[in-house]
Chains A and B, each alone.
Chain A
Amino acid sequence: DSGVTQTPKHLITATGQRVTLRCSPRSGDLSVYWYQQSLDQGLQFLIQYYNGEERAKGNILERFSAQQFPDLHSELNLSSLELGDSALYFCASSVGTQETQYFGPGTRLLVL
């Protein structure tokens, strides 16, 4: 158990809908990262927050957004969902911005 928690574990929704994924980092970690894992693309970095501020953006679609709250938990919002958004979404956390990232158990999203 890495200490990173993610909810929900599974999510099934329809195209065009909007969902919110939640992540709580390990105690003491200030950085939160979001990754998407699909069968063909592997693990792809989406976005990073450090102590409430956005620090880096990767291959994140405009339909996706994220934020980190004062209690350091983070939410990833996915809107106007398409079939191709079906994937595993992982959150990771680290103490700062350079240290080892520890991953949560993931949220499996299925868009029908």
Chain B
Amino acid sequence: EDQVTQSPEALRLQEGESSSLNCSYTVSGLRGLFWYRQDPGKGPEFLFTLYSAGEEKEKERLKATLTKKESFLHITAPKPEDSATYLCAVRSNSGGSNYKLTFGKGTLLTVNP
């Protein structure tokens, strides 16, 4: 069964203080690793998809990277509006079903002004 572990559970940063969120995964045949952002009471908002080790994607202050065992979401010079829960999910060949996403429990990021 696919497993996704995110760390830390919560992270508090000062505005401008760069950091990274970690997503460790155990899957049988990775078919994609996804990062989403979720604001309180809202639906997850898609950020990135990574497919193979070494791949990197960037969007504004966010950069996602992927290795064979984990993914990092790097946040450069964060602003208060970056405060949210960041969710990592994997899609794999496990169990003969490569349709569903298996999510980690998320990292709650708070950026103080």
A→B interface (CB under 8 Å): 2, 4, 31, 33, 42-45, 48, 55-56, 58, 88, 90, 97-98, 100-106, 108
Contact = CB atoms under 8 A, between A and B. Distances in A.
Interface of B: 31-32, 34, 36, 41-46, 49, 87, 89, 91, 97-106
A90 B44 contact: yes
B43 A4 contact: yes
Given A102-B46, A103-B44, A58 B34 contact: no
Given A33-B100, A56-B100, A100 B105 contact: no
Contacts of A31: 99
B43 A104 contact: yes
Contacts of B42: 105-106
A35 B41 CA distance: 14
A98 B93 CA distance: 11
Given A48-B99, A56-B97, A103-B36, A42 B45 contact: no
Given A42-B106, A48-B100, A106-B41, 12 more contacts: A2-B45, A4-B43, A33-B100, A43-B89, A43-B103, A45-B101, A56-B99, A90-B44, A97-B98, A98-B32, A98-B99, A104-B43
A111 B104 CA distance: 26
18 contacts: A2-B45, A33-B100, A42-B104, A45-B102, A55-B99, A56-B97, A88-B41, A90-B43, A90-B44, A98-B98, A100-B34, A100-B46, A101-B46, A102-B46, A103-B46, A104-B43, A105-B42, A106-B41
